[in-house]
Amino acid sequence: MGISYLEKEQIFKIDTMNSSYACAIVEDFLMHVYYGRKISDDDIRYCMRIYENPFTPALNNRDRGVFLDSAPFEYPTEGVGDYRNGCLRIRTMEGHEGCSLSYVDHRIYKGKPKLEGLPSTYGSEEDSETLEIVLKDALTGLVAKLSYSVFDGIDAIIRSVSLVNEGDNTIFLDTVLSSCLDIDNKDYELITLHGGWARERHIDRVPIGYGVHEVSSVRGESSHQMHPFMALVDQNTTYTDGNVYGFSFVYSGNFLSSVERSQQNTLRCICGINPKGFSWKLNKAESFNAPEVVMVYSSCGLDEMTHSFHDLFRDHLICGANRSNKYKDSSRPILINNWEATYFDFDTDKLIAIAKEAAKNGIEMLVMDDGWFGNRSSDNMALGDWFVNEDKIKGGLKYLVDEVNKCGLKFGIWVEPEMISPDSDLYREHPDWAIAIPGREATLLRNQYVLDFSRKEIVDEIYSRIKRILQSANIEYVKWDMNRGLTDIGSYALKNDTQGELFHRYMLGVYEMQQRLADDFPGILLENCSGGGARFDPGMFYYSPQIWCSDDTDAIERLIIQEGTSLVYPLATMGAHVSDCPNHTVGRVTPFETRGYVALAGTFGYELDITKIPEDDRNMILDQTKMYHKYNDLVRNGDYYRITSYRENHLNDCTQIVSKDKSRSVVTYIKVLSRPNCRSVNIKLRGLDSNKVYKVLCDKNILSVNKTEEDMLLLHGDTLMNAGLFINESSPDLYGDFKGALIELVQL
C-alpha cells in the first residue's frame, strides 16, 4: 500500500498489494492515467496519449472541444464540451449549467476520514492512507475535493467527493456522482445483479455495445430489481482467471451505475446518487458530501475480486456505526422467527411454546415478527402505532421476554419504523407526516405510506417510540424492515426549490436513526431487511452486521440468490434460514437436511413452527445447530470460492470456504437434479496449501476414492486443486433430487 506524488511530472500514483492507479495534472485538468495490474514505474503519463493529436488546449485551442469530448477525465463535468455523461452537473441562479474544474491543491496523509452523516469505510493511521485532490470552478467558486483511500493488504480503492460553495451565489447541484473511470475498451463484458421480490441479485452478464448501459434505482432504496454493483470483465474471465474491474456503491437509496462506450471505443464507468429526482441547493459556504464508491481490480478472476470486497467490508465497513458491537467479529445466535410459523396469528402462549421446543434443539433466540403492536391483525393497519398490543401479548412484553429468557433463549423483535398505515392513530393525528404530493391521492403499496424522514421531528418521534419498546424488556435483536419503495415524492416541510432534496434527505434520516440505535443499544444485534433483500447494500452494513437476504427461503432458489450476493458480500452478512415445506414462496419440497446445508452459507436460523414440523425434521435440528457452531468461524472469516454454479450448469452447486491460514476448509455440494447413467462429477478445489497434506472427511459416502489402510483419505493440496475430487452422484446417499453433502479438509 502506498500513495505518492511526482511533483515534476505532476502525477499521483496509488499502489495496493496487486494493483496500481494513477492520475495526472494536465494543463490544470485532472486526468486519469492507469488502473490495472501493479506496475513499477511512476511516470506513465504517456498512457494518456493526449499528445497524439494537437487537441490539447495549449497546442491547439481552436479544437478545445475535441479534447474535452475525448480526454480521460478523473472527475468529468457537464456543459462545457464533454458530451459523455459526467459526474457533476450544476445550475446557477441564472439557469446556466456549465462547470469546469481545475487543479488547486492536494494532500496525502495517514488514516481514513469519516463521511459526516453517511456510512463510510474506516481505518487507522497504521492501516490506511488517503489522497485528497482539490479542484475548483473559477467562475462559480464551486470546490470539489476528491478523496482516495487504500488499506493494507486489500486490493481496493475507496473514492468519494465533497463539494463546497466558495462563491457568492447559490448553486444547484443537479448531478453529483462519486466516481469515474475512463479506460480503453478491450471487448469487456458487463456483470450486474438484477431481480425482483424473492429472486434478488441474480447474476447478469452481457457484452458492452456502443452507448450507455446502466443499472439504477429510483425507488428510494437500492431495490430488489437492480443493485449498486457492476463489474467489467474480459470476455474469457471466469471465477479463476481474467481481468475484473468491480464497483460497489456504499449507499442505500437511489443510485446509478453506468458504462458508456464512446465514439473512440473508450469506456466511461460512473457511479453515484441517481440524478433522476435529485437536486440540491448549495448556498454560500455550504458543503455536500457524496457517498463512497469501492473500486476493486483483479487480474485473477472473480474470486479474487470477491475476496477483496469481503475483506474490506468485514474489516473496514461492517458495524462502522459502532465498531465495539459484539457481533461484528463473533458468531450470531441461531434464531427462530415466527413469521412463516404463525404470520399474524400468535399470542404469548404460542410464542412461549415455540421457545420451549426451540431450546431443546440448540436454537438460541426467538424473534417475534410483525403483528405485536397497536391493533395490527393484518398488514392493513397500525404501522406507526408502536405500543404493545396486550390483548395479544398477554401480561405485556416484559413478561413474554422474561419467560423466553427462562427457556434459555434470547429475544428479538421486528419493527418497520419508516412506514405509516392510513388506518393508524399516528396517521389520523399527523396525515402530513407521510410523503405525498399535496392535492394528489398518494399511491398505496402494501396498504401503507412512507414517513417523511427528511424531517427531524418525525425521526425524533418515531425513534423515541421504538426506544421505549427496546428499553422496556431484555430485547437483544432488532429486525428493521421496509416493505415498500418511495412514490409521490413531496414533503410538507421542504421549500419549493428544495423538494429535489427529499430522496437523499430521507436516506440521511434513516442513517441518523440507525446511528442512534447503535449508540443507545450497543449490545443489540441489528438485522436490516426490506421486503426481503431490497436494501441489501454496503450502506446498511455500516449499521448492521447482517441483512435478510431474501423472503424466498426455498433452498434451490437460494442457491442462485446466494451466488450473486456472495459475489460481493461476506457470507456472514446473509440472513439465511431453514424454512418449512412445501416452501411458502414456490411450493417446492426439499429435504430438511439440504435446507440446512444451504443456510449454513449465511447467518443460519429457522423460519417455521417447530411445534408442528414432522418429527424426523425436528430431530435433525440439534445436529444442524451443532454443524453451525462447528463451521461458523470458518464461514464467517474464511475465503470463499465458487467451484460449480447451478445457475450455469442447471445440475449441481458447489462452494468452498478456506481459512486464512489454509489449515481448514469446508466444501458444500448440492446435487440439484438427478441424471441417469452419468459418470462422477470432478470438483477441483482452490485456495489450499499446495505442499501440505489434508485429511479429507465427508459426512456422506459420496467420494470415488481409494482409501488408505487407516480408512482415511490423505491428499496434498496440489492434488486436491489440480486432480480434484470425484463426487459419485449415483451413491445411495445422493439418490434423488435436491440432495447435498459436506466435505471437510483438515491440514495435517
Enzyme catalytic residues:
481, 551
> Can you name the residues that pair with 337 across neighbouring β-strands?
367
Of 174, 171, 145, 161, the closest CA to residue 284 belongs to 171
Report the DSSP beta bridge partners of residue 284.
none
Angle, CA of 273, 276 and 279, to the nearest 5°: 75
Contacts of 424 (CB under 8 A, 6+ apart): 374, 381, 382, 383, 384, 385
Instruction: Tell how far CA 446 is from the center of its chain.
Output: 25
Greatest pairwise CA separation for the chain in angstroms: 87
Residue 163 CA to residue 161 CA, distance in Å, equals: 7
From residue 623, how far is each of 498, 602, 631 by CA, in Å?
57, 17, 12
CA 27, CA 45: separation in Å to the nearest integer? 13
Q: Torsions phi, psi of 500, nearest 5?
A: -70, -5
Please report, in angstroms and rounded to a whole number, the separation of the first and last CA atoms in the chain. 34
Helices within 589-687 (DSSP H only): 592-599, 615-637, 646-649
Distance CA 405, CA 286 (A): 50
The 3-class secondary structure across 62-100, one letter per residue, is HHHHHHHCCCCECCCECCCCCCCCCCEEEEECCCCCCCC
- CB proximity list for 308: less than 8 A, separation 6 or greater: 154, 155, 156, 246, 296, 298
Neighbours of 330 (CB within 10 A): 12
On the CB side of 232, how many CA atoms lie within 13 Å of its CA? 28
Q: Which three cell numbers stand for residue 529?
A: 431487511
Yes or no: say if 462 and 512 are a contact pair by the CB < 8 Å rule: no
Residue pair 537/228 in contact by the 8 Å Cβ criterion? yes
Cell of 410: 434470547
- Of the candidates 637, 686, 642, 626, which has an alpha carbon nearest to the alpha carbon of residue 659? 637
Residue 243, all three cell numbers: 481481468
Task: Tell me if 662 sits within 8 A of 357, measured CB to CB.
Answer: no
Q: Is 233 helix (H, G, I), strand (E, B) or coil?
A: strand
Answer whether the bond into residue 582 is a cis peptide, omega within 30°. yes
Can you point out the beta strands (E) in 491-584? 525-528, 546-548, 574-575, 578-579
In 17-170, the DSSP E strands lie at 19-26, 29-37, 88-92, 102-110, 128-136, 142-151, 156-165
* Pairing verdict, β 664-671 and 713-716: unpaired
Contact between 440 and 400 (Cβ < 8 Å) = no
Extract the C-alpha cell encoding 490: 413531496
Q: How far apart are alpha carbons 521 and 448 in whole angstroms?
A: 28
For residue 177, CA distances in Å to 77, 116, 181, 194, 698 come to 10, 17, 12, 21, 50
Whether the CB-CB separation of 332 and 322 falls below 8 Å is answered with no
Q: CA geometry: angle at 60 spanning 54 and 61, to 5°? A: 140
Helix and strand totals (H; E) in the chain: 14, 39
Single-letter amino acid, residue 422: P
